[in-house]
Amino acid sequence: MVADGASECSECRRALAETARNAVCPSCRSCFCASCGYLHFEFDTSGMRMRCRVTREVVQRPPMPV
């Protein structure tokens, strides 16, 4: 049971900031749910490609700054 989803949302926002900072799905133009911060992307095993959970479109992850 999820009351307000606060803990999940903070985790999603943290994950978004750390791993998908500049990635946006070209179809739905979204990285995360605006209301809860839930990540729309799921990562492949290499962590370099993401699939949007909304449109199922594959998005290449941008290189991380060194």
* pLDDT tens-digit map of 14-26: 655 655 555 666 6
In this predicted model, which residue has the larger pLDDT, 25 or 6?
A: 25
Contacts (Cβ under 8 Å, ≥6 apart) of 52: 25, 27, 28, 30, 40, 41, 58, 59
Which pLDDT score is estimated for 25?
67
The three-point CA angle 63-20-66 to 5° equals: 35
Q: What is the mean pLDDT of residues 22-51?
A: 66
**The tokens of 11 are what?**
């985790």
Is 7 strand, coil or helix?
Answer: helix
pLDDT band at 43, cuts 50/70/90?
confident
pLDDT band at 54, cuts 50/70/90?
confident
Give the E-state strand segments of 1-66 in sequence order. 41-43, 49-52, 58-60
